[in-house]
Amino acid sequence: MKKTSTYLLFFFFLLIQSVNAQTKTDNGINGNFTNTPFSQFVKEIESQSPYYFYYDAVQLDSFKVTLQVTNLPIQKVLEQVFSDTEFKFSIDAQKRIYIAQDRLIITRLPAGLFDSTPSEKTDATAYDIPDEEREERLLSASENKLYEIGVKTYKLKEGNATISGYVRNAKTGEQIIGAAVYLESPQIGVVTDALGHYSITLPKGKHLLRIKNIGMRDTRRQVMVYSDGKLDIEMLESVVALKEVKVQADRDVNVAGTQMGLEKLSIKTMKQIPTAFGETDLLRVVLTLPGVKSVGESSTGLNVRGGSTSQNLILFDDATVYNPAHLFGFFSAFNPDVIKDVELYKSNIPSKFGGRLSSVLDITGRDGNKKKFVGSGGLGLITSRLAVEGPIVKDKSSFLLGGRSTYSNWVLKALENPNFNKSSASFYDINAHISHEINEKNSVYLTAYLSNDRFRLFGDTLYTYRNILGSLKWKHTFNTKLFGVFSGAYSQYQYAIRGEQTPTTAFDLNFAIYQANLKADFTYLLTDKHTLEFGASTIRYKLSPGSYTPYGEGSLVIPDVMPNEQAQESAIHIGDKFEVSPRLLITAGIRFSVFNYLGPKTVNTYASGYPIETGYMTGTKTYDAGKIIKTYGGPEYRLSARYMLSADMSLKASYNTLRQYIHLITNTTVVSPTDIWKLSDSYLKPQLGSQYSLGLYKNLRGSTIEVSVEGYYKDIRNFLDYKNGDSLILNHHIETAVINTRGKAYGVEVMVKKMSGKLNGWVSYTYSRSLLRAEDRSSSDAPNDGNYYPSNYDKPHDFTLIGNYKFSHRFSTSLNFTYSTGRPYTPPIGKYILEGTERVFYAERNKYRIPDYYRVDFSMNIEGNHKVKKLAHSSWTLAVYNVLGRKNPYSVYFITKGGSVNGYQLSIFGRPIPTVTYNFRF
């Protein structure tokens, strides 16, 4: 950078110098030079032609010219003179010749040098600069330019001013979220919001503003701040990103941010983790993070810090996703080509989020390219995908369309498991995204998503399910201190099961949930020490809890339709980020949520003083449409603090309370597409959660190694568990089938990360427990006599190693190792005879564990060469999933055959699975 600037200065100087008139004619050059000093040669050329030389005499003082030419154009002459030398020349329109060592002189100013938003690319006359180098140059120009912010005054006034604007990707025009914009002295820093907008308040005067972001090259801007103003910043992507793992944003965020338990993954990181089917899988990568578990390897249900799979708020561009998986959970329902990044909040959940107890998984889609049309895609044996994007109005608006589909049917046929190969399965998903910048103060984003699954089990039961999402977001900047985001979203999830075993019992079973949200969030920069975030949101739910209807002419099924449910959940929140001192930063927030369960609905009533059981049901009560049946509500507190113990070490603590008004009704251990959702009602109370966490963060070796230790304790109230052996589907008195349980979860997560260097990756170890017991311990329905028992996802020890080693720019390898304790299960352990009838008995709930799980994956990446001018860039990935071929049990089940009960274990990926992937782009 420095060198470039020196050249540019030199060039400016020359511009001013060369004012002589050009009178001589531009004929060919004639001459005979033998070991002529360069200065002599120059004089000769200048005398017979209109050209004028600019060069550094010192550099060329020992350069001798030996040449014989007759009537040769100057261009050819110089080519001969400088061939095989370290000198480069260029000629401009004014017939000036510039000679420099190693480096070409650009003979035309880059466009936009004097423009605040340098973005236009122009061709230089003498030298075709490769794209990236050109962009680099433009930005280095931006880096060296002094930007004057606000109304210029001769005398600087005392006080502070605010600069705001967007940080964008120079290549695609996409806003960059979470980029750090900061001054080193005084220490002031902000992070760009969800729309890539930042706003920083700093003392008036001259400053060097630094900008950093994950996957982007660090940049800086020289600013002269006179008063409040606007500055948009463009950043370049890191060029050499053959094999890097980036989990968290800039290096110091780990230590310096207040946020704890936040994991951020960019799509680049996700693409590096080997998967069984060779396709990047968002949820499976999230599962490698400490504190995140799942009950089985083909299940994408996330259990975050001892929470259930239903306690995660999964947002895709602000719309709630109810089923994030395709095909029994083998694939996540997100197309890797349209995702930008994923943030997982697992301990300190910002006050703007609410409605789920355990975590928020915030998935952000990519904006389309605002500068040019591009496409990307993949063809595989199981899935193929395609995405196209491009500007609608250049630099203003763009679109992105993505689709993915499978031809997995033949894979199922190939499976040795007869349960699978008698089956068929297909799925697809479609994404559409439009972003439009109306003007500097307003931009809008529109996202639509559809996923559809259809599979047939055992040849006679057809399952279909689909997610439909849509969201519209409007971002408005009121002034440099206040901006707001207004969004509306709609989500729909439905499934259907059709049974066709026999015509008389053929049925259709349907379930659906519809949700519409409206949300307004504001950020207000009160002072440089206080940043306020506040807003309001409301969600309208409508549920069809199930309908069971005959299918076909001959069906004798009696229709059973559960009445719809509806409710309204609203919340307001406010939070303040307060920098008490450079060492201490506090974020305090409060969220107040209210839930109304609404009519029309007929509610069952029960004899008071007795347990809520069908045997004690007394009758029903009917409520009219819109009538409030039951209201719940209360405050939720979100507190967190960071204290810098030293420049590279910090201590963070947080306390969070959360409420969840929607429950997943399931008694199967894995996430099943037949799981139904249920709203809190007269009998089902909202779930309450609180979490305390404490963490110590330390960066070693100049921030190349991050070490963190986080501990947490979680208390969960009113989590639903199910009474022994009650059916949950089409249960008209579901309240009799559930028991409120109290959960506790605690654990310690230790992580060591090395983000750069030839050897990089992370090692994490988690010790955690997740236990449940009935709220009413004396109830006869309380499992395990009212004592704590392990939850289905209680896996105390968990170890993950992700290691990448880069042998060269073109060859790198990756090794993953994961180990976890086997999950608990309840086997039948014996039989007995009572009153002449034989009965089996089961172990205490979750008393036993299936065998431990471990797996090793290995992959190699071989890149093609890196020539700039090349038709296609290609890379090979050779990977082996489950190198050791361990038969990790996925499920364990018992079947009664010929009067005896036998146990079986099913492993899905029971042998090493090699995959070869060839990627190319052009």
Binding piece for another protein, criterion CB under 8 A, among 586-594, 690-698, 746-754, 840-848:
840-848
- From 311-319, 425-433, 605-613, 677-685, give the range in contact with another protein by CB under 8 A: 605-613
In the complex with another protein, the residue whose CB is nearer, 61 or 560, is 560
The Cα–Cα gap between 171 and 238 comes to 11
The answer to the question of residue 379 lying near another protein (CB under 8 A) is yes
Residue for token digits 């994923």? Answer: 342
In angstroms, the Cα distances linking 841 to 520, 828, 829, 901 are 54, 6, 6, 11
Contact between 911 and another protein by CB under 8 A: the answer reads: yes
CB of 878 to another protein, least distance (A): 9
Q: Residue 94 corresponds to which tokens in the numbers above?
A: 């004014």
Instruction: Give whichever of 817 and 848 is closer to another protein, judged by the CB atom.
Output: 848
Q: Which residues pair with 586 in a beta bridge?
A: 578, 641
Binding mask 776-805 for another protein (x = CB under 8 A): ----xx-xx---------------------
Q: Which of 290, 283, 296, 300 is nearest to 825 (CA)?
A: 296
Restricting to residues 848-887, which ones interact with another protein according to CB under 8 A? 848, 885, 887
Residue 206 or 831: the one with the smaller Cβ distance to another protein is 831
- Asked if 526 and 545 touch (Cβ cutoff 8 Å), the reply is no
Tokens encoding 28: 């060919």
| 383-393/913-921 β-pairing | unpaired
Nearer to another protein, 199 or 846 (CB): 846
User: What is the footprint of another protein within residues 712-751 (CB under 8 A)?
Assistant: 722-729
Should residue 617 be labelled a site residue for another protein when binding is judged by CB under 8 A? yes
Judged by CB under 8 A, the stretch of 83-91, 111-119, 187-195, 603-611 that binds another protein is 603-611
Pick one of 36, 845, 857, 858: the residue that binds another protein (CB under 8 A): 845
Q: Please name every residue paired with 824 in a beta bridge, in sequence order, or none if there are none.
A: 849
Q: Is 829 in the site for another protein (CB under 8 A)?
A: yes
State which residue, 532 or 562, has the beta carbon closest to another protein.
Answer: 562
Judged by CB, which is closer to another protein: 463, or 661?
463
407 binds another protein (CB under 8 A): no
Interface residue with another protein, options 411, 468, 651, 653 (CB under 8 A): 411
| Amino acid (one-letter) located at 340 | K
Find the shortest distance in angstroms from Cβ 857 to another protein: 14
797 versus 831: smaller Cβ distance to another protein: 831
Asked if residue 922 binds another protein (CB under 8 A), the reply is yes
Closer residue to another protein in complex, CB, 85/896: 896
Q: What is the dihedral of CA 345, 351, 357, 358, to 10 degrees?
A: 10
For residue 916, give the DSSP letter: E
331 touching another protein, by CB under 8 A: no
Rounded Cα–Cα distance for residues 818 and 857 (Å) = 9
- Quick one: 835 exposed, middle or buried, by C-beta within 10 A (0-12, 13-18, 19+)? exposed
Indicate whether 602 belongs to the interface with another protein (CB under 8 A). Answer: no
**Beta carbons of 197 and 515 less than 8 angstroms apart:** no
Q: Does 902 bind another protein (CB under 8 A)?
A: yes
Min separation Cβ 381 and another protein, Å: 6
Name which position in 131, 184, 218, 460 contacts another protein (CB under 8 A). 131
Residue 422 Cβ, how far from another protein at the closest point, in Å? 13
Chain centroid to CA 202: how far?
31
839 binds another protein (CB under 8 A): yes
Which is nearer to another protein, 634 or 903 (by Cβ)?
903
d(CA 524, CA 477): 10
Count residues near another protein (CB under 8 A): 98
Only segment of 53-61, 217-225, 275-283, 349-357 that touches another protein (CB under 8 A): 275-283
Interface region with another protein, contact rule CB under 8 A, candidates 45-53, 525-533, 611-619, 753-761: 611-619
DSSP designation for 843: P
What part of residues 351-370 is at the interface with another protein (CB under 8 A)? none
Q: Which is nearer to another protein, 550 or 611 (CB)?
A: 611
CB closer to another protein out of 122 and 568: 122
Tokens 């999950």 appear where?
823
Instruction: Find the part of the chain contacting another protein (CB under 8 A) among 432-440, 697-705, 750-758, 775-783.
Output: 775-783
Tell me, rounded to whole angstroms, the distance of Cα 455 from its chain centroid. 28
Which positions from 279 through 308 interact with another protein, judged by CB under 8 A? 279
16 three-state secondary structure: helix
Question: How do 628-646 and 584-598 pair as beta strands?
Answer: antiparallel
Which H helix or E strand runs over 2?
Answer: helix 2-17
For residue 633, CA distances in Å to 308, 517, 572, 591, 833 come to 22, 18, 12, 11, 50
Give backbone dihedrals phi and psi of 504, rounded to 5 degrees, phi first: -75, -25
Phi-psi region of 740 (alpha: psi -120 to 50; beta: other; left: phi over 0): beta
**In the window 490-509, what residues touch another protein (CB under 8 A)?**
497
Site for another protein in 413-432 (CB under 8 A): 414-417, 420
List binders of another protein among 673-712 (CB under 8 A). 674
User: Considering beta carbons, is residue 114 or 842 the nearer one to another protein?
Assistant: 842
Mask for 217-256, x = binds another protein (CB under 8 A): ----------------------------------------
Question: How many CB atoms sit inside 10 A of residue 740's CB?
Answer: 17
Nearer to another protein, 154 or 922 (CB): 922
How far apart CA 90 and CA 896 sit, in angstroms, is 87
495 neighbors 510 (Cβ within 8 angstroms): yes
HSE, side-chain direction, 13 A CA sphere, residue 90: 17
Taking contact as CB under 8 A, which single stretch among the options 226-234, 305-313, 318-326, 608-616 is the one that binds another protein? 608-616
**What would the two tokens of residue 354 be?**
């609410």
With b for 16 or more beta-carbon neighbours within 10 A and e for fewer, the 884-920 pattern comes to: eebebbbbbeeeeeeeeeeeeeebbbbeebebebeee
Closest CA to 524 of 488, 582, 478, 487: 478
- Shortest CB 390 distance to another protein, Å: 9
Q: Is 277 in the site for another protein (CB under 8 A)?
A: yes
* Residue 382 binds to another protein (criterion: CB under 8 A): yes
Q: Measured from the CB of residue 683, what is the shortest distance to another protein in angstroms?
A: 16
**DSSP at 154:** S
Write out the binding residues for another protein, residues 454-483 only, by CB under 8 A: 461
Rounded Cα gap, residues 760 and 369, in angstroms: 31
Q: Which of 82, 147, 616, 623 binds another protein (CB under 8 A)?
A: 616
Tokens 């982007």 appear where?
216
Residue 826 touching another protein (CB under 8 A): yes
> 873, exposed or middle or buried, with CB in 10 Å at 0-12, 13-18, 19+?
middle
Residue 438 vs 607, nearer CB to another protein: 607
The stretch among 49-57, 583-591, 614-622, 807-815 that binds another protein (CB under 8 A) is 614-622
Q: Does 830 bind another protein (CB under 8 A)?
A: yes
Bridge partners (DSSP) listed for residue 445: 435, 473
- Report the half-sphere exposure of 63 (CA within 13 A, side-chain side): 23
Q: Could you give the 3-state DSSP secondary structure of residue 284? A: helix
Least separation in angstroms between residue 852's CB and another protein is 13
Tokens of 277: 């089917």
Q: Residue 13 or 373: which CB sits closer to another protein? A: 373
Closer residue to another protein, CB minimum distance, 478 or 920 = 920
Nearer to another protein, 280 or 537 (CB): 280
Residue from 14, 17, 22 nearest 94 by CA: 22
